[in-house]
Amino acid sequence: MLSDCEAAELLSFLTPSTRPDVKGKATEYILGLSGNRDGCRFLCSKADLIAALLALTSDPSVAIVKDCYHILINLSADETLHQVLVSKVKILPVLLKNLQDPDYLFSDHISTILSNLSRHEKTCRTVFEVLQEEVGLAKLVEIFCNESYNKKAKLHYMGPLLSNLTQLPEARSYMMDQDRCVIQRLLPFTHYEGSLVRRGGVIGTLRNCCFEHAHHEWLLSDAVDILPFLLLPLAGPEELTEEENEGLPVDLQYLPEDKKREEDPDIRKMLLETLLLLTATKAGRQTLKQKNVYPILREFHRWEKDVYVAAACEKLIQVLIGDEPEQGMENLMEVEIPQDVEEKLKEADAKEQEELEREERMRREEEEKKKRDAEGTDQEK
Amino acid sequence: MASTEAQDDSDDGMDAFMDKFKSQRYKNALSENNWEEEFNKIPMFMKTAPEEIDPKKYPELACLQSIIHDEDRTPEEQAKSLKDEGNSYFKEKKYKHAVVAYTAALKKKCGDQEFNAVLLTNRAASHFHLGNMRSALNDAAAAKKLKPDHLKALIRGAQCCLELRNFPDAIQWCDEGLKSHPTDNKLRELRATADKQKRAAERDARKAKAKEKKLTGEKEALLSAIKDRGIKLYQPMSSAPEGSGSEGEDESPSAGIAQLSLDSLSSLEVTGAQVSLDEQGSLHWPVLFLYPEHQQSDFISAFCENNSFRDHLSVMFGEELPPWDTDKKYHPQNLQLYFEDEEKETLYQVDPDSSLLNILQHKRFFVKAGTPSFMVLVKGSSFWKQFLSGKKIRGL
């Protein structure tokens, strides 16, 4: 690694007035450093270098700015750098200010950095605090949900940012502020075809929010109406009878024959988990039963090939068609589980996981075999 | 009027003044007969104002009005009074008058942005209550232009869009409003309503499309079944340039079907019965039996193509003969059936034991108005002799 002297020299190259080619070489070098773990750890102790890079993000040369942002992205991906970035160098206010600028070229990079920084709870909390001071979560959501906000950046990575932020109860509160229109803006994006990252981020956010069962009634009410948006990606083109159609939420009725289901299995699983969370309370269970979602899940289960996702679906169906739990156990999230029962359940879970893994292995082997057979016959020709 | 001596405690001479009327009559008193009417004419005591103020009849009102609208007053004052006038009319639900007042106020072109935004918003509200949604929307938009955070204008704009069933625009108005008033209840509710109705409208569109698709599918299946059987539909002269469709050799199937438009199947019958395809794939036709002798007819709404004519005749004429059969001669075994080939002016006799399908497939049978029709005569009767004489007849 560089000596202190060399580091000081490098720092001197990172001023706005330095010749562009020298500046460029300097940033290039640091970019290389930031690409590996040792380099990152080294830079961790060099807050002044990072501060200089942050200042260089206002450099007139786009190439330089791009390098600086790439460096910051790399650094933010390493958790050990978080404190330096956020507390020493104080990158957040600058980043957040630029993010709000509708003409800013590097807003996508900023989103990625913020998404990285908010992954783990400690720094996430700091990010959220500064965010609330500088922008406000509501404004952030507005920017994210306005597809034409920034012509030069897609802002898809704000999705995972929001998802990360909602690991904090404070953020969930803001997201679900009943006096404002915040979470409602996210809903149309549950089936946004343009970006997996955005879609996943939105659904992750909704899932996190659904841990707050005190808000379930409001979430399921007309004020938000979260249910159809969770089911739409799971619904397919299969024709349902007129009777089944009429009982469904409006958005799920008479779906066209080219309707496609969510392609990513992890997202499908997240949707089912979110729905399962909504069945925690008695009111939630009732609503889901009333809204006649069962046919959607029935057809989905028939279609689903991934064993883990199918298992999640089965769990949900079980709750929907099963009997109501005994008195006192109606809120599934508040039920106290005695120690021995908990152990047994853990065992059962572990066993189930094994089973699923076995099933998945078998399914894959079958597929391989089919492939080989097909190839085999081709060759025989 | 006051007498110089103070006869009493008052020093304004009021008592003396009043005393005078013990002997004198007050001039200009209200007449005893219609004092209520006259009372109502005094501006201060008017219950309602007249629509138009005729200076001759209501001199005091006209006077007041000219004070209010005196051109000598500054434009600002005039505009303010016009605004107040509009507001009063609005309260009384006289929306047309309110519009006039607000418009006049706006014409004065004074006051700041806020003032004019309020005028426009109020006029928008008046139009809204009159049902003039577009005018209301225009006014709300104009108000918004003057003052982008004017809450009432934003709400009104959203409401107009809702009434016009333009849900995406309604949502946009709400979102604009929520930028400057993020916690406003009304905006939030309007947005939720607009969103809900938008999604319902989308569902309706999907439902209509699905229904149309189903109908088209059924229609195509029907026409396809008819064409496959080689049954010819009579085409009216105006449509289908190539004439009756199913004989076209080189046409693609869909073009052939397109020619056999459903119009040529539309029945002139009041019942609106039409040929249909059942689940087993058999066609059921509405069929007319005509009895030229007695100018009567029978309508069979669904004659299955596999049934024979005898099946129906034995039921229709088996037990009881129809009342118009005065000679009681229409027994099933005496009946003869014919269909007419209009073009060739020929009558073809129908074997009652043949199925409907067989006859429809006859190369000279054309289904007219979607309803095959057959003439029924009594063999050997004098009408039969008369009817058939001079006509070209073919057996089967």
Q: Tens digit of pLDDT for each residue in B96-109? A: 999 999 999 999 88
**Worst-scoring range by mean pLDDT, A149-158, B102-111, B120-129?**
B102-111
Same domain, A216 and A200: no
Boundary residue ending a domain (A287, A307, A325)? A325
Between residues B41 and A272, the one the model is more confident about? A272
Same domain, A239 and A293: yes
Of A181, A223, A253, the CB nearest to B178: A181
Between residues A377 and A269, the one the model is more confident about? A269
- B206–A254 CB contact, under 8 Å: yes
Highest mean pLDDT among A249-253, A334-338, B152-156, B359-363: B152-156
Chains A and B form CB pairs within 8 A to the count of: 44
- The phi-psi region of residue B165 (left if phi > 0; otherwise alpha if psi is between -120 and 50; otherwise beta) is left
User: Confidence band (pLDDT; 50, 70, 90) for B14?
Assistant: confident
The answer to whether residue A152 is domain-embedded is yes
What φ, ψ does residue B348 adopt, rounded to 5°? Answer: -110, 130
Whether the pLDDT of residue B261 is over 60: the answer is no
- The number of angstroms, rounded, from the C-alpha of A163 to the middle of its chain's C-alpha atoms is 5
- A180–B182 CB contact, under 8 Å: yes
Percent of chain B residues past pLDDT 90, beyond the cut:
48
Q: What secondary structure does DSSP assign to A155-187, as a single string?
A: -TTHHHHHHHHTTSHHHHHHHT-TTS-SHHHHG
- Averaged pLDDT for residues B162-172: 96
- The CATH fold of domain B69-200: 1.25.40
- The CATH fold of domain B255-394: Ubiquitin-like (UB roll) (3.10.20)
CB atoms within 10 A of CB A307: 18
pLDDT at B10: 59
Whether the pLDDT of residue A104 is over 50: the answer is yes
Q: What is the pLDDT of residues B67-99, one digit of tens each?
A: 666 666 788 888 898 999 999 999 999 999 999
The span from the CA of A10 to the CA of A262, in Å, is 49
- A222–B199 CB contact, under 8 Å: no
The answer to whether residue A73 is domain-embedded is yes
The answer to whether residue A104 is domain-embedded is yes
Averaged pLDDT of chain B: 83
- The number of angstroms, rounded, from the C-alpha of A133 to the middle of its chain's C-alpha atoms is 23
Q: What secondary structure does DSSP assign to B300-345, as a single string?
A: EEEEETTSBHHHHHHHHHHSS--TT-TT----GGGEEEEEEETTTT
Averaged pLDDT of chain A: 91
- B209–A138 CB contact, under 8 Å: no
The answer to whether residue A375 is domain-embedded is no
pLDDT at A358: 86
Same domain, A216 and A190: no
Same domain, A141 and A245: no
- Averaged pLDDT for residues A65-88: 94
Q: Does the CB of B178 have a partner CB in chain A at under 8 Å?
A: yes
The answer to whether residue A158 is domain-embedded is yes
pLDDT at A326: 65
Of B185, B192, B200, the CB nearest to A250: B200
| Chain B, nearest residue to A252 by Cα | B203
Q: Does the CB of B258 have a partner CB in chain A at under 8 Å?
A: no
Say what the ipTM of the complex is. 0.80
pLDDT at A54: 93
Per-residue tokens: A122? 């400690």
Cβ-contact B307, B315 below 8 angstroms: no
Same domain, A312 and A217: yes
pLDDT at A206: 97
For residue A155, with 0-12 CB atoms within 10 Å meaning exposed, 13-18 middle and 19 or more buried, which class applies? buried
- The phi-psi region of residue B30 (left if phi > 0; otherwise alpha if psi is between -120 and 50; otherwise beta) is beta
- Averaged pLDDT for residues A270-297: 92
Chain B: give the shortest CA distance to residue A250, in Å.
Answer: 6
The span from the CA of B141 to the CA of B150, in Å, is 10
Residue with tokens 């070098």: A29
Chain B residues inside the 8 Å CB shell of A250: 196, 199-200, 203
Q: CA B337, B340, B346 angle in degrees (round to 5)?
A: 110
**Worst-scoring range by mean pLDDT, A103-117, A153-167, B274-288?**
B274-288
Q: How many angstroms separate the Cα of A288 from the Cα of each of A238, A324, A332, B245, B375?
A: 21, 13, 15, 54, 63
Instruction: Give the CATH number of the domain where residue A135 resides.
Output: 1.25.10.10
Cβ-contact B309, B354 below 8 angstroms: yes
Q: How many domains does chain A have?
A: 3
Structural domain span for residue A10: 1-82
- Averaged pLDDT for residues A201-205: 97
Same domain, A198 and A227: no
Chain B: give the shortest CA distance to residue A251, in Å.
Answer: 6
Q: Does the CB of B195 have a partner CB in chain A at under 8 Å?
A: yes
Chain B residues inside the 8 Å CB shell of A256: 206, 209-210
User: Confidence band (pLDDT; 50, 70, 90) for A355?
Assistant: confident
Chain B residues inside the 8 Å CB shell of A142: 179
Same domain, A39 and A69: yes
Q: Would you list the domain boundaries of chain B?
A: 69-200, 255-394
The span from the CA of B227 to the CA of B257, in Å, is 8
The answer to whether residue A183 is domain-embedded is yes
For an interface test with A, give the residue of B188, B195, B203 to mutate (most A CBs within 10 A). B203
Chain A: give the shortest CA distance to residue B393, in Å.
Answer: 53
Residues for chain B: how many in total?
396
pLDDT at B72: 65
The span from the CA of A119 to the CA of A85, in Å, is 14
Pairing between strand B276-277 and B283-291? antiparallel
pLDDT at B254: 43
Q: How many CA atoms lie within 13 A of B161 on its CB side?
A: 25
pLDDT at B251: 38
Chain B residues inside the 8 Å CB shell of A181: 174-175, 178, 182, 188, 191
DSSP A290: H
Residue with tokens 């993010």: A99
Q: CA A314, A315, A320 angle in degrees (round to 5)?
A: 90
- A181–B196 CB contact, under 8 Å: no
Q: Which residues of A touch B (CB under 8 A)?
A: 138, 142, 179-181, 184, 222-223, 225, 228, 250-251, 253-256
Task: List residues bridging with B392 in a β-sheet.
Answer: B346
pLDDT at B357: 93
Q: According to DSSP H, which parts of B242-308 are helical?
A: 253-259
Cβ-contact B158, B126 below 8 angstroms: no
Same domain, A166 and A272: no
Boundary residue ending a domain (A307, A325, A343)? A325
Residues for chain A: how many in total?
381
Chain A: give the shortest CA distance to residue B326, in Å.
Answer: 53
For residue B392, with 0-12 CB atoms within 10 Å meaning exposed, 13-18 middle and 19 or more buried, which class applies? exposed
Whether the pLDDT of residue A79 is over 80: the answer is yes
Whether the pLDDT of residue B61 is over 90: the answer is no
Q: What is the pLDDT of residues B298-331, one digit of tens each?
A: 999 899 999 999 999 999 998 888 999 888 899 9
pLDDT at B255: 41
Whether the pLDDT of residue A73 is over 50: the answer is yes
Cβ-contact A42, A30 below 8 angstroms: no
- A142–B179 CB contact, under 8 Å: yes
The span from the CA of B354 to the CA of A369, in Å, is 60
pLDDT at A360: 84
- B199–A142 CB contact, under 8 Å: no
Of A223, A253, A256, the CB nearest to B192: A223
- B188–A181 CB contact, under 8 Å: yes
Chain B: give the shortest CA distance to residue A255, in Å.
Answer: 7
Q: What is the pLDDT of residues A205-261, one digit of tens each?
A: 999 999 999 999 999 999 999 999 999 999 999 888 888 888 899 999 999 989 999
Q: How many angstroms separate the Cα of B288 from the Cα of each of A58, B108, B313, B375?
A: 89, 77, 12, 8
Q: What is the pLDDT of residues A325-343, one digit of tens each?
A: 666 666 776 667 777 778 8
pLDDT at B264: 55
| Chain B, nearest residue to A229 by Cα | B199
Asked whether the domain spanning B255-394 has the same topology as the one spanning B69-200, the reply is no
Boundary residue ending a domain (A275, A308, A325)? A325
**Worst-scoring range by mean pLDDT, A61-65, B210-214, B269-273?**
B269-273
Q: What is the pLDDT of residues B112-123, one digit of tens each?
A: 889 999 999 999
Same domain, A175 and A100: yes
Chain B: give the shortest CA distance to residue A237, in Å.
Answer: 12
- Averaged pLDDT for residues B229-243: 63
Of A180, A222, A253, the CB nearest to B196: A222
